[in-house]
């Protein structure tokens, strides 16, 4: 089982190294370490058996345009989940008042963007991984069930549209999608229609001609 995990983990990390750019790539190389791997190896893998829908060092942008990086983003509908592995030193013992306050602001922004969030201490990952698995199992049962939609199987354009809908405080329009993916209005509308059919989006306005869309509730 450990060999299977190591093989899958390395393949998964190589894929994200190839996809990463800028600050996310730097963090993948320098910040994704013991705690993050421990969460996957001791908690996630024994319970789930794959790394599907998990994105390490995920770039999150709040309503004011500030960037945060999540240890893991679990990209399944109806609601994305932030998963964090926190060491005692940088998150508690070594925190000053500003970093403590910024950490709370960060978590508030994630929650207010309609994400779920679960956090685990690296001590508990080492000493009580079964207790951590219990929380992940409850997450999968209570927040998702077996019919959760798989974002990773969407096309690259459709994933970007779902990300736009997740970040936007207002319903998204075909015009917004055209600017995002640099494609024609017709192409954008086809992608939006397919996302509605797949259960990711729903109509927010318009009857005969839909003018805007939002994440399906």
pLDDT by residue (tens digit) across 181-217? 999 999 999 999 999 998 888 999 866 677 899 887 6
Backbone angles phi, psi at 9, to 5 degrees: -60, -45
Res 118: pLDDT: 96
Same domain, 184 and 141: no
Res 185: pLDDT: 94
Same domain, 99 and 192: no
The helix (H) or strand (E) run that includes residue 117 is strand 116-121
Residues in the chain: 217
Average pLDDT over residues 81-88: 88
Helix (DSSP H) and strand (DSSP E) numbers for the chain:
11, 6
Same domain, 32 and 101: yes
Average pLDDT over residues 137-164: 75
Same domain, 63 and 158: no
Same domain, 22 and 53: yes
pTM summary value: 0.64
Domain CATH for 194? 1.10.10.10
2, two tokens: 């450990």
Burial of 188 (0-12, 13-18, 19+ CB in 10 A): buried
Q: What angle do CA 205, 211, 215 make, to 5 degrees?
A: 65
Q: How confident is the model at residue 146 (pLDDT cuts 50, 70, 90)?
A: very low
Res 140: pLDDT: 87
Q: What is the C-alpha separation between 120 and 200, in angstroms, rounded?
A: 29
Strand-pair category, 116-121 with 201-205? unpaired
Q: What angle do CA 146, 9, 48 make, to 5 degrees?
A: 20
Same domain, 132 and 165: no
Range of the domain at 132: 2-151
Of the three residues 125, 151, 177, the one that is the final residue of a domain is 151
Average pLDDT over residues 103-127: 91
pLDDT tens for residues 40-68? 999 999 888 889 899 999 999 888 888 99
Res 148: pLDDT: 43
Q: How far is CA 92 from the centre of its chain?
A: 24
Same domain, 132 and 169: no
């Amino acid at each position: 089982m450990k060999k299977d995990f190591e093989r899958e983990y390395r393949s998964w990390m190589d894929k994200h190294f190839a996809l990463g750019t800028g600050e996310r790539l730097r963090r993948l190389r320098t910040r994704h370490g013991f705690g993050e791997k421990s969460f996957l190896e001791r908690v996630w893998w024994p319970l789930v058996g794959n790394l599907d829908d998990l994105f390490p060092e995920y770039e999150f942008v709040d309503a004011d345009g500030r960037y945060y990086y999540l240890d893991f983003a679990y990209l399944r509908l109806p609601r994305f989940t932030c998963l964090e592995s926190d060491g005692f030193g940088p998150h508690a013992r070594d925190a000053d008042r500003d970093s403590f306050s910024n950490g709370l602001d960060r978590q508030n922004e994630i929650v207010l963007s309609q994400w779920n969030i679960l956090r685990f201490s690296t001590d508990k990952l080492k000493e009580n991984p079964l207790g951590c698995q219990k929380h992940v199992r409850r997450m999968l049962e209570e927040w998702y069930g077996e019919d959760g939609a798989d974002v990773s199987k969407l096309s690259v354009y459709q994933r970007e549209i779902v990300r736009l809908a997740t970040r936007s405080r207002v319903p998204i329009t075909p015009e917004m999608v055209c600017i995002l993916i640099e494609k024609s209005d017709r192409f954008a509308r086809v992608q939006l229609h397919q996302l509605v059919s797949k259960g990711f989006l729903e109509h927010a306005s318009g009857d005969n001609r839909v003018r805007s869309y939002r994440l399906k509730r």
